[in-house]
């Protein structure tokens, strides 16, 4: 589904990733690492918000490295950014309509999301900027799912969210992964990430320092690999 | 009573014209952050389109209604050309955009000067705008009423377009968070182009209204551009209701000060008022309230 080959990327003259590769054999891949390791940059390069200076992003066998993010979304990639991002001046419903517009099953997908996340139905007419962090994260995930993705890219989906909603979000991710959706996950909560992932990749200073199978990973070894 | 009614009504009409001039800027400057100094020259283009339409359709009763959509299209296409040719490379570089669009403005004025006489051209107003409306004893010229009606129609149409259509949602989403809009499947480049087209097209409509009130010449855009920017900033950047109130306030204040002093002194006093207001409320009349960052 997704294959990342020798990607180098950064911001202006500052390089962040140095030849990162993720083979495309696993359905759910977790990317682990300390702050500043390059995890978010890797996800941004995958969805197209950062253009790699070198390397290739393959999706469904197609080279999408030069495609704009919205073209990647059309091809089946969805991205949930770090920090519970929503369009704060749009209502909850407008946030959902934005991605449902132009889809023949848009209304049905919105209804499905309101059923999956009842808080969103409750605050459908409220501006998204006035929702709590957890509700905004649910909205961000709902927006991504309306596009009926083949691959869901999640950047720290549980960061800064109250524990009860963290459990809900983790359950949703597990449910989606079990339903066959491919997931590329960056997560600080290592225990959950390893439980959810078939494979994991550890990044440190923009380089892959360890890869392995999620279920068999030792927490200690993973933590050691996070530090160069 | 006349001393109050006359400047109030005249000022409301002046405010309506200012609103038409500023409405496009709420999109291109307020929503997209582009300081387009050529916006005033799109107003000029609209006025000249009204004149050219009158050369083809000699009856002004018909030519003015026909000129309105033509001016929208013509000025809109000029704006689109500017966006595609220059502005698209300059987003997030406001100073460069300002300098370049000043250059474009001078070029457009020179082109107009090459085509049309320096003293300007006459745009005949339709006979259905010849009369007056009696408001508490004051004979209010119908062409002023027309400007207000046109401004109300444009504001309503723009607000409804932004609020209720899927394209309006895409514009609002792109303005708030471009990256998030892209990753939500929105083609933000298309949004930029259409937003610029509509914003510039509204300047064309303002030009038709302006041609019925003042002179139509190559310099006319310079009369509107600075007050229009002030109105957008004072209203709260990107806020249509703020722009409406600010335009009306500036128009009425101009009319009252002009009654008490002179036309040019009225401009100075009004701008001083706006600057003082912005000292105390730099964010303008209306601001955005959110709990989250975006």
Which pLDDT band holds residue B293 (cuts at 50, 70, 90)?
A: very low
Q: Which of A148, A151, A131 is nearest to A139 (CA)?
A: A131
pLDDT tens for each residue of B104-144: 999 999 999 999 999 999 998 898 988 888 888 888 999 99
DSSP codes, B115-152: HS-TT-B--PPPGGGSSEEEETTEEEEHHHHHHHHHHH
Global confidence as pTM:
0.86
Task: Give contacts of A48 with chain B, Cβ < 8 Å.
Answer: 182
**Cβ of B183 and A79 within 8 Å?**
yes
Whether chain B has a CB inside 8 Å of the CB on A179: the answer is no
Alpha-carbon gap, residue B219 to A228, rounded angstroms:
66
ipTM: 0.91
A126 → chain B, closest CA residue: B290
Residues of chain A with pLDDT under 50: none
pLDDT tens for each residue of A71-123: 999 999 999 999 888 999 999 999 999 999 989 999 999 999 999 999 999 99
Number of H helices, E strands in chain B: 11, 2
Task: Give contacts of B289 with chain A, Cβ < 8 Å.
Answer: 129-130
Residues A28 and A198 sit within 8 Å (Cβ to Cβ) = yes
| Residue A103: Cβ-neighbour burial (10 angstroms; 0-12, 13-18, 19+) | middle
Alpha-carbon gap, residue A157 to A164, rounded angstroms:
14
Which pLDDT score, from 0 to 100, does residue A170 have? 84
Which pLDDT band holds residue B291 (cuts at 50, 70, 90)?
A: very low
Phi and psi at residue A147, in whole multiples of 5°? -75, 0
Superfamily of domain A2-82+133-225: P-loop containing nucleotide triphosphate hydrolases (3.40.50.300)
Tokens of A197: 């992932």
Alpha-carbon gap, residue A116 to A171, rounded angstroms:
11
User: CA quadruple A151, A157, A158, A162: dihedral positive or negative?
Assistant: negative
Q: Which of A82, A2, A101 is nearest to B166 (CA)?
A: A101
pLDDT tens for each residue of A112-124: 999 999 999 999 9
Which pLDDT band holds residue B292 (cuts at 50, 70, 90)?
A: very low
pLDDT tens for each residue of B37-69: 999 999 999 999 999 999 999 888 899 999 999
Tokens of A167: 């459990």
Residues B225 and B137 sit within 8 Å (Cβ to Cβ) = no
Residues A112 and B198 sit within 8 Å (Cβ to Cβ) = no
Alpha-carbon gap, residue B58 to B117, rounded angstroms:
20
A-to-B residue pairs, Cβ atoms closer than 8 angstroms: 95
């Amino acid at each position: 589904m997704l294959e990342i080959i020798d990607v180098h990327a950064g911001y202006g003259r500052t390089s962040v990733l140095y030849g990162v590769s993720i083979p495309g054999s696993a359905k759910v891949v977790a990317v682990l690492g300390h702050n500043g390791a390059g995890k978010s940059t890797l996800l941004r390069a995958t969805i197209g918000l950062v253009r790699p200076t070198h390397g290739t992003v393959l999706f469904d066998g197609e080279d999408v490295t030069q495609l704009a993010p919205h073209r990647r979304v059309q091809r089946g990639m969805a991205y949930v950014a770090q920090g519970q991002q929503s369009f704060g001046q749009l209502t909850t419903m407008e946030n959902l309509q934005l991605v449902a517009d132009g889809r023949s099953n848009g209304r049905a997908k919105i209804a499905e999301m309101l059923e999956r996340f009842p808080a969103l139905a409750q605050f459908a007419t409220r501006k998204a900027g006035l929702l709590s962090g957890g509700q905004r994260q649910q909205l961000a995930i709902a927006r991504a799912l309306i596009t009926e993705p083949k691959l869901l890219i999640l950047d720290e989906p549980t960061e800064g969210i109250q524990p009860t909603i963290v459990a809900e979000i983790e359950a949703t991710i597990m449910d989606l992964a079990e339903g066959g959706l491919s997931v590329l996950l960056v997560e600080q909560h290592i225990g959950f990430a390893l439980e959810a992932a078939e494979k994991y990749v550890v990044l440190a200073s923009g380089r892959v320092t360890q890869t392995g199978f999620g279920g068999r990973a030792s927490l200690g070894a993973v933590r050691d690999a996070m530090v160069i | 009573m006349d001393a109050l009614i006359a400047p109030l009504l005249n000022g409301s009409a002046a405010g309506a014209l200012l609103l038409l001039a500023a409405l496009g800027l709420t999109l291109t400057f307020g929503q997209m952050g582009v300081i387009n100094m050529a916006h005033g020259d799109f107003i000029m283009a609209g006025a000249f389109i009204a004149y050219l339409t009158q050369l083809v359709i000699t009856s002004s009763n018909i030519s003015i209604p026909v000129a309105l959509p033509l001016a929208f299209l013509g000025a809109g296409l000029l704006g689109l050309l500017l966006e595609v040719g220059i502005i698209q490379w300059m987003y997030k570089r406001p100073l460069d955009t300002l300098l370049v669009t000043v250059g474009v403005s001078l070029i457009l004025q020179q082109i107009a000067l090459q085509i049309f006489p320096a003293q300007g051209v006459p745009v005949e107003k339709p006979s259905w705008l010849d009369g007056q409306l009696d408001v508490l004893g004051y004979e209010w010229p119908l062409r002023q009423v027309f400007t207000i009606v046109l401004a109300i129609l444009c504001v309503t149409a723009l607000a409804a377009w932004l609020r209720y259509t899927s394209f309006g949602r895409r514009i609002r989403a792109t303005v708030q968070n471009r990256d998030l809009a892209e990753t939500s499947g929105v083609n933000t480049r298309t949004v930029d182009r259409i937003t610029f087209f509509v914003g510039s097209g509204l300047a064309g409509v303002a030009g038709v209204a302006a041609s019925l009130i003042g002179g139509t010449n190559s310099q006319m855009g310079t009369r509107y551009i600075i007050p229009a920017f002030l109105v957008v900033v004072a209203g709260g950047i990107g806020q249509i209701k703020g722009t409406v109130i600010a335009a009306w306030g500036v128009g009425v204040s101009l009319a009252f000060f002009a009654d008490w002093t002179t036309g040019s002194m009225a401009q100075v006093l009004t701008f001083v008022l706006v600057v003082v207001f912005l000292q105390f409320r730099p964010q303008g009349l209306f601001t955005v309230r959110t709990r989250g960052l975006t």
